[in-house]
């Protein structure tokens, strides 16, 4: 089986590396050639010599049985997919394109229509678990699309995740991903507000975090991000701009399904301000820093 992997960033790099270690023939493409080299080195160290570097996304996709994308946003996904030099036109008839990115339903409809017209099967398969999960091959993968196509691709998906779930028709994966990830940002802001309230009231920050972690306010976010919030050691695993994209996708999805989400609207505004102030590439926890600065804590 020949696999194309396009987009080898914080998530795509470790996912493609796991496929490389799994011995698959791989064709790689990223705008940053250093990221391609890193995956090739990992594969070579594991004895996999069947890994090539493509100069375009279409070149990677040409002749592939499965093409994976892990790209930043709907606009980039669409431009990589469509047109004469896009992934869809390059894939052979009967191939499967699996998008692992966090994406929206509007983009899904357009890229799937293009894929259908070329006889390409499409699965939306966004992931959860962060860079640690991507490196360990323990991602949750939320898949929408045809059940038989999913069943055919599951053995490959099992190399990059350990909770690989078919959720329903096309788009179900993107919807579940957005509905799930929004809690991470709401929780981060809520955690920061609770910590600031405690600190301003005279309880030391580390004591306050311990209280939260051991009480009804406990959460993955408090355990995973709480210590980093206290010491300001924000790792580069997930960009602030991508976090804001997720919040914007949440509001977009809410609009299209007729849901009113007032907390999400406020939290989206916090992330937007943080991106404007600190820049797209900063760690997503910089949104918390914004609130800390506003409170002088």
Pick the stretch among 64-72, 115-123, 155-163, 266-274 that binds ligand NAD (CB under 6 A): 64-72
| Both tokens assigned to 61 | 């996709």
Contact yes or no for 125/102 (Cβ under 8 A): no
Residue 187 lies near ligand NAD (rule: CB under 6 A): no
Site track for ligand NAD across 12-51, x = CB under 6 A: x----------------xxxx--x----------------
Contact yes or no for 149/96 (Cβ under 8 A): yes
Distance CA(49)–CA(60), nearest Å, equals 16
Tell the residue number behind the tokens 């699965």, with chain if given. 123
CA distances from 121 to 65, 153, 275 (A): 10, 11, 36
Nearer to ligand NAD, 120 or 141 (CB): 141
- Name the minimum Å distance from CB 40 to ligand NAD: 14
The residues near 202 (Cβ < 8 Å, ≥ 6 apart) are none
Distance CA(132)–CA(5), nearest Å, equals 19
Pick the stretch among 67-75, 112-120, 201-209, 268-276 that binds ligand NAD (CB under 6 A): 67-75
Nearer to ligand NAD, 31 or 149 (CB): 31
Residue 72 lies near ligand NAD (rule: CB under 6 A): yes
Nearer to ligand NAD, 96 or 243 (CB): 243
For the packed helices 240-257 and 262-278, what is the interaxial angle rounded to 10 degrees?
Answer: 150
Residue 238 lies near ligand NAD (rule: CB under 6 A): yes
Distance CA(124)–CA(69), nearest Å, equals 10
Q: Which of 131, 135, 172, 254 binds ligand NAD (CB under 6 A)?
A: 131
Q: In the complex, which residues of this chain contact ligand NAD (CB under 6 A)? A: 6-12, 29-32, 35, 57, 70-72, 76, 80, 101-102, 127-128, 130-131, 237-239, 242
Which sequence positions are flagged as catalytic?
A: 177
């Amino acid at each position: 089986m020949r696999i194309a992997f396009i987009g080898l960033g914080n998530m795509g790099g470790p996912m493609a590396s796991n496929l490389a270690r799994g011995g698959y023939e791989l064709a790689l493409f990223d705008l940053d050639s250093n990221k391609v080299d890193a995956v090739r080195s990992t594969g070579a160290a594991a004895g996999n010599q069947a890994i090539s570097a493509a100069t375009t996304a279409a070149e990677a996709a040409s002749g592939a049985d499965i093409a994976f994308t892990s790209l930043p946003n709907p606009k980039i996904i669409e431009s990589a997919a469509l047109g004469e030099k896009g992934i869809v036109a390059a894939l052979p008839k009967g191939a499967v394109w699996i998008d692992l990115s966090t994406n929206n339903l509007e983009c899904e409809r357009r890229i799937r229509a293009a894929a259908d017209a070329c006889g390409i099967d499409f699965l939306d398969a966004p992931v959860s678990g962060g860079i640690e999960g991507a490196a360990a091959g323990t991602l949750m993968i939320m898949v929408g699309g045809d059940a038989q196509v999913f069943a055919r691709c599951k053995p490959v998906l099992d190399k990059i995740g350990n909770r690989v779930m078919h959720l329903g028709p096309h788009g179900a994966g993107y919807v579940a991903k957005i509905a799930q990830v929004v809690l991470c940002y709401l929780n981060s802001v809520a955690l920061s507000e609770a910590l600031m309230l405690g600190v301003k009231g005279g309880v030391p920050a580390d004591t306050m975090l311990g209280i939260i972690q051991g009480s009804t306010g406990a959460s993955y976010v408090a355990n995973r991000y709480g210590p980093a919030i206290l010491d300001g050691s924000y790792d580069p695993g997930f960009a602030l701009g991508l976090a804001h994209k997720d919040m914007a996708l949440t509001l977009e999805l809410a609009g299209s399904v007729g849901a009113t989400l007032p907390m999400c609207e406020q939290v989206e505004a916090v992330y937007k301000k943080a991106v404007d102030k600190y820049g797209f590439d900063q760690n997503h926890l910089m949104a918390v820093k914004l609130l800390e600065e506003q409170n002088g804590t």
